[in-house]
Amino acid sequence: MSRAPSTQSRHLLEVKDLRTHFFTRNGVAKAVDGVSFSLDRGQTLGLVGESGSGKTVTLMSIVRLIPKPAGRIVSGEVLLEGRDLLKLSDRDMREVRGAEISVVTQDPMTSLNPLYTIGNQMEEPLRYHQHIRSHSELRSHVLDALKKVGIPVPERRMKSYPHQLSGGQRQRIVTAMAIECQPSLLIADEPTTALDVTVQIQILRLLREVQKEMNLGMIVVTHDLAVVARVCDVVAVMYAGRIVEKAPIVEMFEKPSHPYTQALMKAVEGERDATGRLYTIEGQPPDVRRLSPGCPFAPRCPKVMDICRGEYPPVASLSSQHTVSCWAAMKENGIEHIGLAPGVAS
Amino acid sequence: MTIQDRTRPATPPASAVITIEAVSKVYPVRGGVLKAVDNVSLSIPRGKTVGVVGESGCGKTTLSRLVLRMEPPTEGRVLFGGRDVWKLGRSERKGFHRGVAAVFQDPYSSLNPRHRVSQIVLEPVRVNMGRESGGLSRVRLNDLLRSVGLPEAAAGLYPHEFSGGQRQRIAIARAISLSPDLVVLDEPVSALDVSIRAQILNLLKDLQQQIGGAYLFIAHDLAAVRHMSDEIAVMYLGAVVEYAPVQAIYNAPKHPYTQGLLAASLPPDPRRPNLDATIFGEIPSPIDPPSGCRFRTRCPIAVAHCAEERPPLRERGDGHLVACHLAD
């Protein structure tokens, strides 16, 4: 799907051919290897994948928080409203983080400072990014943000310490902190994984409401398709550092085309065979330090063909917004391989 | 202390591997007491699985510690093969430890990183059989590795050389090394990737058929226990609120808490992205639980009466026990 490079940016965020590699003693781990996607304001993208698929590294590359020196963004572009974040100085990037892009992480206990009150730490981004100095103004901003995320009695909560709050409330506080500087892009990394199931729905609902109300672009990284089904407009499934399938949410659930996506769907639905055994995907996810030239899912794939082992499939369009990288899916949908270099072989 | 109706699950304790009789566990804490487990009774016969489901703070892990004899109960008894586990003599205690094994949630912290797989898997054999184990162990090791789907070559490797799913297989091999009568499975798949979970659940089920042991399967949501369990106990703030055969829990849940949990673990459907929580708020502090029904503060159907009287766990036919004034 190589479109002519559009110089005028219509998208809020455009990630082009991002590659982030980790240089370790045991070889180069291609954690993210050629990821491209775009996101508009008011849209929520789900990045789904298992551990090691590169979903978190993709996010951390967008905000440039890759652990150095092992990790390095080796190529690609991350355009936020047309500006390439990868070309910014560290200082300029700090201005972007927390102001234009905010991150909600998995564990609200570790993302809050245990030694400061909620009010205290919520004022910090306002001081830093919006240069607000007056106490009463800071306070009213914080109270507004707390009210927006449904914290009861915010005046009292401002004086609490993180350990005095429950997990769900902490996640609400972290969300309040993320939106108080009016960002345009909100990134949530496994926002509900650490929470109880009955609390998860409440937090997902909050994220959805905040995103709609502020017309944010949102990226939700998760291993859980149920989370995606509840809040996302578009889903991208990652495997071994690449996006293997991307589609609008309903289309993805109705017509999953990559064998890996199909397998994930069966797994979450708890599908069983005639003997009552659960459907499984055999084998293990691959080691991204030792990838063969072919499709990395080939060793586990029920539809594997000869070509899969030798050559990584190109990105094929199944509909205007549905793309897949799979030789078998191309064959099933009657898409010819037009001998062109796939552009992703490396 | 509330005196609850002592209606017991249908299984007669005589045939049971493990029986928990009206067990409570109370911890003294600053500012009062914490009742982690509150008058819980259940029993598991050979070859059967009881699933215990509940959110953090519901007492499911304390329950597993009581069953594993890691903590004495404050009240009630835990019977293994009909004998109170805290009244066993020295040799009987050995028998208990031979007969009971556990698999924990985190396959990273539950395996000693400095031991090879062979040592890890055979440690129960070495500890319990002493010298007799010698010649036996090589053959036994290969059998065990094969039965959990690991290659024989795994024996010489260290835990860090394996993925999470494979580590859990190692932990399972260790757990079954003495063909235990009871295996306590404390969230054995929660830390694993979706694509690996089903492999481990299938493996556990196969092994149960081979060794015929009883399983106590602990989980925080209803999705994982469904495939494994014969009966399910749903816990909330230390007490069982619903206990029923697995089909009854999934097809006709009676307690509003079970209904909410079930709604939260339904397969995803993007056309109906259900974000309307039926259960609001979060679990209250177990140090200062609500009066009457513990669940009433989050219950969508609570009435005034629920604050006054605590509903007993009562049988509503076919071994279906519910603790709710409003369920029928």
Closest by Cα among B9, B35, B44, B5 to B218: B44
Sort out which chain B residues have CB atoms less than 8 A from A231's CB and list them.
Answer: 273, 275
For residue B135, the model assigns a pLDDT of: 65
Question: What does the pLDDT read at residue B14?
Answer: 55
Q: Report yes or no: A303 at the B interface, CB cutoff 8 Å.
A: no
Per-residue pLDDT of chain B (328 residues; tens, 9 = 90+): 333 444 444 444 457 999 999 999 999 988 889 999 999 999 999 999 999 999 888 999 999 999 999 999 999 999 998 899 999 998 899 899 999 999 998 888 999 999 999 999 999 988 887 766 666 677 889 999 999 999 989 999 999 989 888 999 999 999 999 999 999 999 999 888 888 888 899 999 999 999 899 999 999 888 888 889 999 999 999 999 999 999 999 999 999 999 999 888 877 888 887 777 678 888 888 888 999 999 999 999 999 999 999 999 999 888 899 999 998 7
Does A95 score more than 60 pLDDT? yes
Cis peptide before A191 (omega within 30 of 0): no
Task: Compute CA distances A107 → A169, A173, B157, whole Å.
Answer: 12, 12, 32
Domain A13-100+183-332: state its class: alpha beta
What pLDDT shows up at residue A315?
94
- Candidates B182, B171, B253; CA nearest to B217 is B182
What value does the mean pLDDT of chain A take? 90
At B132 the pLDDT is: 62
Total-model pTM? 0.87
pLDDT tens for each residue of B249-308: 999 999 999 999 988 887 788 888 777 767 888 888 888 899 999 999 999 999 999 999
What is the pLDDT at residue A337? 66
> pLDDT tens, A187-214?
999 998 888 888 888 899 999 999 999 9
pLDDT at position B15: 76
Judge if ipTM > 0.85. Answer: no
Tell me how far apart the alpha carbons of residues A230 and B272 are, in angstroms, rounded to a whole number. 8
Give residue A340's pLDDT: 46
CA distance B207 to B173: 10
Across the range A225-237, mean pLDDT stands at 93
Residue in B with minimal Cα distance to A52: B193
Mean pLDDT throughout A314-332? 94
Question: Between chains, do B261 and A270 touch, taking CB under 8 Å as contact?
Answer: no
**For residue A346, with 0-12 CB atoms within 10 Å meaning exposed, 13-18 middle and 19 or more buried, which class applies?**
exposed
Find the range with the poorest average confidence among A183-187, A232-236, A268-272.
A268-272
> How far, in Å, CA of A334 to CA of B113, rounded?
50
- The minimal CB distance from A250 to the residues B270, B282, B283 is found for B270
Residue B280, chain A, CB below 8 Å: the answer is: yes
Looking at residue A304, its amino acid is V
| Residues of A whose CB is below 8 A from B221 | 197
Which residue in A51, A226, A277 is closest to B193 by CB distance?
Answer: A51
**Is some CB atom of chain B closer than 8 A to the CB atom of A267?**
yes
- Give the model confidence (pLDDT) of A103-143 as tens digits: 998 877 788 999 999 999 999 999 999 999 999 999 999 99
Distance from CA of B80 to the nearest CA of A (A): 30
Distance CA A28, CA A23 (A): 5
Angle between helices A197-213 and A167-179 (to 10 degrees): 10
Note whether B56 contacts A: Cβ–Cβ < 8 A. yes
Q: Is A167:A196 a contact under the CB 8 Å cutoff?
A: yes
Nearest to B195 among A196, A263, A269 (CB): A263
pLDDT at A4: 47
The C-alpha atoms of residue B13 and residue B41 are separated, in whole angstroms, by: 11
> How far is residue B12 CA from its own chain's centroid?
20
Q: What pLDDT is attached to residue B224?
A: 82
Write the CA distances from B67 to A265, B208, B218, integer angstroms. 36, 19, 12
Predicted local confidence at residue B287, as pLDDT: 85
Residue A236: closest CA among A103, A59, A66: A59
d(CA B103, CA B190): 12
Average pLDDT on A21-47 reads 94
Which of B193, B250, B274 to mutate to probe the A interface, most A CBs <10 Å? B193
Whether residue B223 contacts residue B198, with contact meaning beta carbons closer than 8 Å, is answered with: no
Q: Which of A12-26, A64-78, B149-163, B268-282 has the lowest mean pLDDT?
A: B268-282
Domain spans in chain A, listed from the N-terminal domain onward: 13-100+183-332
Judge contact between B171 and B192, C-beta under 8 A: no
DSSP, res B296:
G
Kindly state the helix (H) or strand (E) to which residue B77 belongs, with its residue range. Answer: strand B75-80
Nearest-Cα residue of chain B relative to residue A232: B270
A202/B277 Cβ within 8 A = yes
Q: HSE-up of A222 (CA within 13 Å, CB side)?
A: 26
A74's tokens: 């080796």
CATH number of B13-322: 3.40.50.300
Distance CA B261, CA A198 (A): 7
Buried/exposed B198-234: b ≥16 CB within 10 Å, e otherwise? bbbbbbbbebbeebebbbbbbbbbbbbbbbbbbbbbb
pLDDT at A342: 46
Domain residue limits, chain B: 13-322
Cβ separation B193–A223 shorter than 8 A: yes
Q: Residue B173, SS3?
A: helix
Q: What is the pLDDT of residue B30?
A: 85
Lowest pLDDT segment from A222-231, A240-249, B126-135, B229-238: B126-135
The model's confidence at residue A345, banded by pLDDT at 50, 70 and 90, is very low
Contacts of B87 (CB under 8 A, 6+ apart): none
Q: Note whether A168 contacts B282, CB cutoff 8 Å.
A: yes
Q: Answer yes or no: is pLDDT of A287 > 90.
A: no
- Sequence letter at residue A246: K
**A321 touches A38 (CB < 8 A):** no
The residue of chain A with its CA nearest to that of B263 is: A198
Of the candidates A76, A59, A313, A271, the one whose C-alpha atom is nearest the C-alpha of residue B227 is A271
Distance (Å) from the alpha carbon of A170 to chain B's nearest alpha carbon: 12
- For A42: left if phi > 0, alpha if psi spans -120 to 50, otherwise beta; the answer is left
> Which tens digits make up the pLDDT trace of A148-171?
998 988 999 999 999 998 888 999
Pairing mode of beta strands A234-239, A242-248: antiparallel
